[in-house]
Chain A
């Protein structure tokens, strides 16, 4: 087993009032692995990833504990100046809404070149050439000309590609993609996901793909981590987690997916609502909505327990269902 490129151990993020938005999160990311980070809104997936980049809005939120080891080096205690080298240089991030996340008054090429010049000692013309190359890599036609365009002159899908170009310009080892396709058309979605997988194949970048859509995960990811109310429910290789989920929340999510095989009747739902920040249930946070909750579930938080090779789940009463067909 090669050493993981990113190793997160026990990461916790707290608000000023001590409420934990992310509680004891642990996972590893292998080189070239695409990890799907799944959860509903409010599950803490975005906050966790901001924490990885130390981009939390302080003093509202802060890292309350844990280790984030990038190639063995813990990022949590790193001085800010060193962290800036890591951002963009070692870990890149792309966001859901490319329009909002690109500078509207700066040309795309200049934004890419700015990042390149920041992390590597290159000349202006070299940086510009790199910018054009980056645009080419993400499949933007006529990159020379397009480098001089502004964000609003691109179509939605192209804009997302441009943002990916900006993030990958310095060849980071890890790319965090925060719901990159949620705001896009279905056809464009597929293109962007394809692009991400291509980039992984070509450049070996590891990707953390944040999404609430299991369909996206099934298409692109190698492994999945499921978050609920700030805690990790289940983690493991995609086929294992989707095929034989151990946690009831995971199973519920899978059940809620409309199958492409059609069908009649109403869609399944998971009854209830995710808990609000200040009113976390005691014990397992999912137990109020879980059909299989036992007395133990109300009492203690379940620990991560191994369910198979590389597959863990935190559940007092895990499922042991046989392998199911993985939905499209």
Chain B
């Protein structure tokens, strides 16, 4: 960031690179912490210590303990695994499904496209979180339900994005050239259009990770996602809600962890976007 401040010109490449770099570092550190959890965390995340309940942050418990006497720092570190998984899986499924559907719709147009757009309109008419909650209520609480509901709801954004890119590129010159060479539809779609159209989607996926992470944490906060005693940042905040006046550290630190990881993803999204010349 200080590099960018020293060269305060919009045209310089540094802003993009510094942003991307910082984001990768932040996310990378999180991933590292998650992978090294067994060695990094000072305590067992589910170990309850009746004598050390609701202890404020000190030398022994750097981030304090919760109402069960569990070390908050260890739980935060172990929870990174869960939250990173949420962010990643919660994006991959909708990405793949939405991209395929959107590509087909955009390329072939006509009735297929019209029907798809209507379906997308309907899904988008519902508040994102409400729909997810409803689906999870049907399927029963748990992370698996969360991923399924995301797959059912989240594909829409990717479909729309790739479809609009395909529509723009469809009439591009190089497609015409490919057709004149006798290439088949699917060849054109997947080998030529898609790589170009994907750039926007990939950048979007990075910022979607933020949304998914927040969504997953929100769902767990409401009790519909990760179940206790598993450590996950959202559920930790929920657990801290009841002790908000006595033990502010229970809610504060997991939230900060979410913030840092989201910030990292956002920086990557921004940095990538600037590097690849993506427009909103």
Residues of chain A touching chain B, judged by Cβ–Cβ distance below 8 Å, are 59-60
Tell me the smallest distance from the CB of B5 to a CB of chain A, in Å.
Answer: 15
Chain B residues with a Cβ closer than 8 Å to the other chain, count:
2
Cα-based distance from A83 to B4 in the complex (angstroms):
32
Which B residues form the contact surface with A (CB < 8 A)? 9, 11
Closest to B8 in A: A59
* Chief secondary structure at chain B's binding surface: loop
Nearest residue, chain B, Cβ from A59: B9
Q: Which residues of B contact A60 (CB under 8 A)?
A: 9, 11
Tell me whether chain A's interface is mostly helix, strand or loop, or mixed. Answer: loop
Q: Which residue of A lies closest to B9 (CB)?
A: A60
Instruction: Give the distance in Å from the alpha carbon of A60 to the alpha carbon of B11 in the complex.
Output: 10
Please, how many angstroms separate the alpha-carbon atoms of A60 and B12 in the complex? 11
A59 to B11, CA, bound (A): 12
Whole-angstrom distance from the CB of B161 to the nearest CB of chain A? 26
A61 to chain B, nearest CB (A): 11
Contact partners of B9 in chain A: CB under 8 A = 59-60
> Which chain B residue shows the least CB distance to A60?
B9
Minimum CB–CB distance for B116 against chain A, Å: 31
A60 to B9, CA, bound (A): 8
Residues of B with C-beta under 8 A to A59: 9
A214 to B9, CA, bound (A): 36
Question: Can you name 3 A-B pairs with beta carbons within 8 Å?
Answer: A59-B9, A60-B9, A60-B11
> Considering the chains assembled together, what is the distance between the CA atoms of A166 and B11 in angstroms?
30
CA distance A210 to B95 in the complex (A): 50
Q: Chain A nearest CB: distance from B15 CB in Å?
A: 15
Bound state CA distance, A90 and B167, in angstroms?
47
In whole angstroms, what is the CA distance A29 to B11 when docked? Answer: 35
Complex: A59 Cα to B8 Cα, angstroms:
10
Distance of A328 from chain B, by nearest CB (Å): 34
Cα distance A59–B9 when bound, in Å? 9
Question: How far does the alpha carbon of A78 sit from the alpha carbon of B9 in the complex, in Å?
Answer: 25
CB distance from A278 to the nearest CB of B (A): 16
A60 to chain B, nearest CB (A): 7
The minimal Cβ–Cβ distance linking B92 to chain A, given in whole angstroms, is: 40
Task: Quote the shortest CB–CB distance from B12 to chain A (angstroms).
Answer: 10
Nearest-neighbour CB distance to chain B for A190, whole angstroms, equals 31
Q: B11 — which chain A residues lie within 8 A by C-beta?
A: 60
CB distance from A175 to the nearest CB of B (A): 30
Q: How far is the CB of B192 from chain A (nearest CB, A)?
A: 31
**Shortest beta-carbon distance, B127 to chain A, in Å?**
32
